[in-house]
Structure 1
Amino acid sequence: MARLPAIGPTSVRTTGDYYQWLVAWEACLSLLRETGARSHNPVRAVGVELDSVGNLDDVVLLRDVPPNTYKQVKYAVDSSTPVNEEYLTKRSASGGPSILEKIARTWKGLTSDGGSVDLRLVTNRAADPGDHLLAGRDARTGLLMPKAAVGGSRSDRGKARARWAQEAGLTEAELIDLLSVLRFDLPLDMVWYQENLRLLMAVTGLRHDQRALDEGTGWVAKMVREGRRELTLELIEAAVADLGLRAGPARGVLSIATLKPDPMAPDASHAINWVDRFDGDSAFTKRRPLLPNTWGQLQMDIESVPGHLPAGTAAVSVTGSIRLASAFLVGTTFRMVTGTDVAVVQRGQLWSTSDPFDTCLVPRVTEHEIGQGGDEIAVAIAVAADLTEDVLEYLREQNLPVGKLIVLTPPSGSAKDGSVPDGTTANALAAGMRDRLRRFSRRIRRMHLFLACPMGFAVLLGNRWNRLCQTIVYEDVKIDSGYEPAFNVAA
């Protein structure tokens, strides 16, 4: 592979500008979403390099009622400058004020009348884990508080606070007040920002491919070149129309995180964060609740979601990191009878329960006699992988009272990655599997359900889970007996 050339000064400036336009386009999407959701205090305009707000002027989210959000955007071409005391307090090449001093001056100016503000340092740089104050950054909020205030004057944190306060031209009490509103949004690398913005565009009802993203950021750059420093709802809506970005309805966002934090959570209509309540050290190992937390508690949290969404929400997008049993439960929570259009991003596509299809796809069915009961059956949804042997072993080891195992696969009979290429196919197959299972469940008291499918398919299948019997949904926990009953879904 040929080596890439070194990045020149022009390329650095151009890339840095593009990074700032990404941040500004995100603010425009926030305005559209909050206006559409009738938020009590929505963003009313987006400032880009706004005058009279000091050094935190790169992107500003203006609201009728404070606090406004002021963002300083800093892009780096490599990882040589982490965010730490040296980076924040270093004087400019010409001997000018440091980043921290500029932020402090701006903060004092913006709050001189006693008002409140929300300040953000947005960068693709990472926090230095060896820095006494940055190491205590709260990943949930981006704030250095409350840990930055812990420790006396002789502690490492206390000495760092004194140095920061002196450099910022503040007292230590004032520094604590500043750090209570200064969020460090990092490390937000370029690829992460692009992926997150495409997801945000999808739930805003816009086209969300790379071209659409480039058109949105390109429009922001054009506005700045033309001298427009304040982007209003009217301007943004006109741009969406002129660029042909509108693709569907704006959606409420349901964020559910059990494996890793969801970057969409701050933009969600409702968020459930169970990351710290699941057992495991990484997203790969988190498969079941960490005691004393239980599957039953998670089921109550998920099934209570409709009551937490804004009144009149008719379309919902599910974001976050959940395994298949939880995804299926989300679908059953918003079953078709509720009239809610549910969608999830799957492989860069938006799979929605409203995706049209002409006819149901009839699944291939394989039956395995178990003979351990007469009025219960087990069902294995084998779309992405064949789980037959694992399920058979589990049923026999646990001596579950099931008469037979029904294995449903796509019409080809092949369970593999990519067997469901899009939302239309997923809906048609989900409807076909439901219809086939209705025949099996006519004289059945209870069904035991095992899933091996794309997460989006689990949501769509759950959405169509009506006129069936009581269902126990199992999660593949990989340890102990392999599976574990997670949720009990009513008929």
Structure 2
Amino acid sequence: MSALPAPSRTGVRIAGDKYQWLIAWQGCLTVLHDAEVLPSNPVLSVGVEQDGVGNLDDVVLYRAVPPHTYAQVKYAVDSSTPVNSDYLLAPSPTGGPSILKKIAGTWRQLTAEDTVVDLALITNRAPDPGDPLIGLRDARTGLLMPKAGLLGPGSARGIARRMWAKAAGLTEKDLLELLDCLRIDTSRDLTHLRELVQYQMIAAGLRHDQGAIDAGADWVACQVRDGHRILTGQMIRAGVQALNLRAGPARAVLSIATLKPDPMAAEADYALDWIDRFEGATAYAKRRPEAPATWAQLQDQIEDVRTHLPAGTTAVAVTGSVRQAPAFLLGSVFRMVTGADLAVLQRGELWSTDGAFDTALPPLQNVHALGQGLDLAVAVGVAVDPTEDVLAFLRAQQTPVADLLVLRPPVGVKDNAVPDQATANALAVGIRDAVRRASRTAPRVHLFLAGPMALAVMLGHRWNRVRPTTVYEDVATEEFYEPAFTIEA
């Protein structure tokens, strides 16, 4: 691929504007989502280049009660200027105040009457990990505190604090108060931002294709061009109707991450972060809780997630990264008999447990006799065939099972065996019905899964009138598997 020419100043300005409109459209999606899901302190309107709020005026989220969010948006065409002390403390190109000094002035203005605020610097620039303060940024919150306030005045951190305070025109005490409410939202590149917007459009019940994302950002640009500085819920809903963006119900957002950070965690109605509680240095290697964390603790917390979502929630968008057993458990927590509808983004498409299908899809079946007890073992092989590994595990562990029932999609085991939502729902019903019939006289089912995460959610969602079930996770050890969760079906 040939290199692109350097963008012109006009091109840079247009790209920066589009970046800002997309962030403002995120705020509009929050307004729509909150109006449907009814969190305790909803966002009611969005300010764009709002008058009277100083330097943090690019995008403002006005909530029912403070803190409101005041954001400055900074776009860069390349990675030559990371976010560090030099970037934040340098005078503007025309010799004016630095970014930090402008933010400090706005903070003083907004908090003059002891008003609580939420401030954000949003940029596609990367943080400088070697900076004595920026390097302390908590990736979960975007805040430099509490670490920025630790260590004495002679440390590199203490020297940086004094330098920042002087440049901002603040005392060190005031600087730390500012840093308590200033989120440094870095590395929000365009691809990452569009992914976030896609999830938020799903949560708001809107179309989430690339054309719909662009239409929303362009709508914001038109409002700003026409002189509208405050975008109210009524205006946003009218815009959605005019753009024909409505696609389904608004959904509460539930983030569960065990493998890698979830970009939607900060936007979720509830987020469960177990990344640091799973062993393994990479997402691929994270397969089991690391002591003292246990599967039982994770089960308790997943079973408790319903209590953390807005009251009356029935439609839920699930984001994050989990393996088969936690996905199945989550589906069982929001079982069909409860009236819940779970949706997962799978291969860029929304797979919903309420998705329509014609008839159940019976799986291919093979039975392997073991004669080790009265229970039934079930292996569901979609992406890979787990038969040999499961048989070896059951024999080595002397698991008290009479038979191993292996279930596969009608087209066989392959990556695209379950191509869409309708097939997944139909196959989930077919698998459940097959297990129901096979386990009628078994005291317990031992379940092993190998397939798409969304299918595991759908299967757990429909796991009723089945014998009590132990779900196993592939832990990639000599034993292959270990029991993760027990579900009373």
Sort the TM-score into its range (normalised by shorter chain).
over 0.9
CA distance in 2, matches of 1:460, 1:68: 38
Q: Does 1:453 align with 2:454?
A: no
The 2-side partners of 1:112 and 1:196 are apart by 34
Which AA in structure 2 matches 1:144?
Answer: L
Partner of 1:411: 410
SS of aligned partner of 2:104: helix
1:146-198 Cα offsets, whole Å, 9 max, x none, are: 11111222111111111111111111111111111111011111101101110
Is structure 2 residue 153 aligned with structure 1 residue 121?
no
1:423 counterpart letter in structure 2 = Q
Shift of 1:400: 1.1
**Corresponding position of 1:190:** 190
What residue is the counterpart of 1:367 in the other structure? 367
Matched residue, 1:422: 420
- CA distance in 2 between counterparts of 1:307 and 1:166 reads 46
CA–CA separation in structure 1 for the residues paired with 2:18 and 2:480 = 47
Aligned equivalents of 1:274 and 1:179: distance in 2? 26
Alpha-carbon distance in 1 for matches of 2:63, 2:199: 24
Paired letter, 1:471: T
Partner in structure 2 of residue 90 of structure 1? 90
- Deviation per residue, 1:75-123 (Å, 9 max, x gap): 1111111100000011122111111111111111111122111100001
Alpha-carbon RMSD across the aligned residues, in angstroms, is: 1.1
Give the Cα–Cα distance (whole angstroms) in 2 for the partners of residues 484 and 40 of structure 1.
40
> Is this contact kept in 1: 2:43–2:63, CA < 8 A?
yes
Q: CA separation in 2, counterparts of 1:237 and 1:53?
A: 26
CA contact (8 A) 2:140 2:266 kept: no
Matched, 1:18 2:18: yes
Aligned to 1:44: 44
Deviation at 1:31, TM superposition (A): 1.1
What one-letter code is carried by the residue in structure 1 that aligns with 2:394? Answer: L
Using the TM superposition, give the Cα deviation of residue 484 of structure 1 relative to its aligned residue in structure 2, in angstroms.
0.8
- 1:392 corresponding residue in structure 2: 391
Unaligned runs of 5+ in 2: none
Could you tell me how far apart the structure 2 residues matched to 1:334 and 1:431 are? Answer: 16
Match of 2:245 in 1: 245
Aligned mates of 2:64, 2:156 — CA distance in 1: 41
1:27 and 2:27 correspond: yes
Give the whole-Å Cα distance in 2 for the aligned partners of 1:140 and 1:64: 24
1:112 is aligned to: 112
Deviation string 1:292-331 (CA, Å, 9 cap, x unpaired) is 1111111111112222222221211111111110000011
Count of residue correspondences: 489
TM-score, normalised with respect to structure 2: 0.98
SS for the counterpart of 1:475 is strand
1:402 Cα deviation from its structure 2 partner: 1.3
The farther-off stretch of 437-446 and 210-219 is 437-446
The SS at the match of 1:47 is: strand
In structure 1, list runs of 5 or more residues that go unmatched.
none
Cα deviation code 1:241-282 (max 9, x no counterpart): 111111000011111111122222222222211111111122
Distance 1:64 1:315, change over 3 A: closer
Give me the TM-score of the superposition, normalised by structure 1.
0.98
Amino acid at match of 1:392: L
Partner SS for 1:421: coil
Where in structure 2 are the equivalents of 1:298-377 lying within 5 Å?
A: 298-373=298-373, 375-377=374-376
Question: 1:197-276 counterparts in 2 under 5 A?
Answer: 197-276=197-276
Report the CA distance between 1:39 and its aligned residue: 2.4
Identity, % of aligned positions: 59
Distance 2:3 2:82 in 1: 25
